[in-house]
Amino acid sequence: MGQYTQTLNPPKTLIPKLPNPNPSFSSFKTPKPKSKSFPTLSVSAMAAQNQPPLDALLNGTRKQELLGAIGTSLSNCLSETNLHLTVPGLKSKIRGKVRDVYDSGDYLVMVTTDRQSAFDRILASIPFKGQVLNETSLWWFDKTRHVTSNAVVSVPHENVTIAKKCSVFPVEFVVRGFVTGSTDTSLWTVYRSGVRNYCGNVLPDGLVKSQKLPANILTPTTKAADHDVPVTPDEIIERGLMSQADYDEVSRKALSLFEYGQRVALEHGLILVDTKYEFGKGQDGSIHLIDEVHTPDSSRYWIAHTYEERFRNGLEPENVDKEFLRLWFKDHCNPYEDEVLPDATEELVRELSWRYIFLYETITKSKFKMPSTEEPIHDRISRNVAQALSSL
């Protein structure tokens, strides 16, 4: 891959009713301070009727097959792209936390890389992560057309989506169904500090971590410098960030998307805990869902059939997203203030990559297809994008 081959860790920057239990997951191991351990996800085999397909993904040869492929790809992650240098007609590059976005004039070319972000910083590169995020989003974009239109135009590569240009609303619509989280803006963090009115939502006393909220809530955020800032609906209108009509439409869409996502996730043995959506207006004035939807980067997912027991026992729910990565870094450093963070261990990177693939296969009920290695990935992306743009 030449100049596009990156090291394992790139430079860092500053409830609906739950189903009855069938097989049971083994307990997470709580990492001790400064240890290199982290909670692993596993399942114990039990002779139960109607055993969910999660068991097949968590046991046996599939996990070992994936871990083997992940191990051979640790030094071959897509951590950076430079399509503006290799694809004619691309005018500029915007490097986001995870996505590299290119302007082709009429469309945007969005490349989902393997960069892993949290705490507003890049923490590592995770094999196959970009492909998982892009293909998970595409699956959800297709399934949610009855709720809202989206900006997807074509998909020339597993990591790439070509999208309509939209005027993006400067507000992220975060929808939450549970009191949880470990970041500064998470609901549990602010609730534990005494906040009882958050983003216009009045919260009752007595809630505990991981508890289901009486109803799903919207907690919008807006950007300030390089971090998210909570904002109320009234403030969104007063600051001119959105019109009242646009806010009303988008908030309805966001809540409907989340309710549908929760229903589908539960059918597949998972709980969609919270997520964030971004929307924009097309040239015709219609509002589209953009960026990503219900991915393990933008969402928290828990294993459904162990939630209630673990909640009763005061244990963290078993998660299938990057929350365990956040917890690992908070256990080993101050990720908001420390100038230099510890490297994510190889074991941690392997586990996160597997969890992302596990989520994709669980949600979509399809087998994750390993990318071809016959041609350097950047060369293949460049060729496919150039061909796709020429046909639009």
Interval 330-382: pLDDT, tens: 888 888 888 888 888 899 899 999 999 999 999 999 999 999 888 899 999 99
Quick one: average pLDDT of 278-301?
96
Is 3.40.930.10 the CATH number for 54-166+288-297+321-391? no
- The DSSP call for residue 78 is B
Q: What is the average pLDDT across 281-304?
A: 96
Query: Could you report the per-residue pLDDT of 2-36, keeping only the tens digit for each?
Result: 333 333 333 343 333 443 333 333 322 323 333 34
pLDDT at 266 over 90: yes
In CATH, what number does 167-281 get? Answer: 3.30.470.20
pLDDT at 45 over 50: no
* Share above pLDDT 90 across residues of the chain, in percent, rounded to a whole number: 68
Whether 67 and 60 have beta carbons less than 8 Å apart is answered as: no
End-to-end C-alpha distance for the chain, whole angstroms:
28
**Is 311's pLDDT higher than 80?**
yes
Domain with CATH 3.30.470.20 in the chain: 167-281
More confidently predicted of 209 and 340: 209
Nearest in space to 301 (alpha carbons), one of 328, 329, 261, 274: 274
pTM, two decimals, is 0.84
226, pLDDT greater than 70: no
Percent of the chain residues past pLDDT 70, beyond the cut = 84
Q: What is the pLDDT of residue 166?
A: 97
Q: What average pLDDT does the segment 180-206 reach?
A: 94
Contact 357, 66 (CB under 8 A): yes
Q: Which residues contact 208 (CB under 8 A, 6 or more apart)?
A: 179
pLDDT exceeds cutoff 90 at 168:
yes
Q: Which segments of the chain belong to CATH 3.30.200.20?
A: 54-166+288-297+321-391
- Which tokens belong to 368? 């994750």
Alpha helices in 89-243 (DSSP H): 129-143, 187-192, 233-238
As a whole number of Å, the CA-based R_g of the chain is: 21
Quote the pLDDT of residue 36.
42
The predicted structure's pLDDT at residue 327: 80
Is residue 319's pLDDT more than 70? yes
The label of the residue with tokens 């009713």 reads 17
Q: How far is CA 310 from the centre of its chain?
A: 23
The pLDDT tens digits of the residues spanning 127-155 come to 999 999 999 999 999 999 999 999 999 99
pLDDT bucket at 55, cuts 50 / 70 / 90: low
At 98, which amino acid appears?
A: V
Judge contact between 379 and 386, C-beta under 8 A: no
| Three-state DSSP string of 332-349 | HCCCCCCCCCCCCCHHHH
Q: Average pLDDT over the chain, rounded to whole?
A: 85
93-103: average pLDDT: 95
For residues 242 and 233, what is the distance between their CA atoms, to the nearest angstrom? 9
Q: Does the structure show a pLDDT above 50 at 126?
A: yes
List CB contacts of 320: < 8 A, sequence separation 6 or more. 41, 270, 296, 301, 302, 303, 355, 358, 359, 362
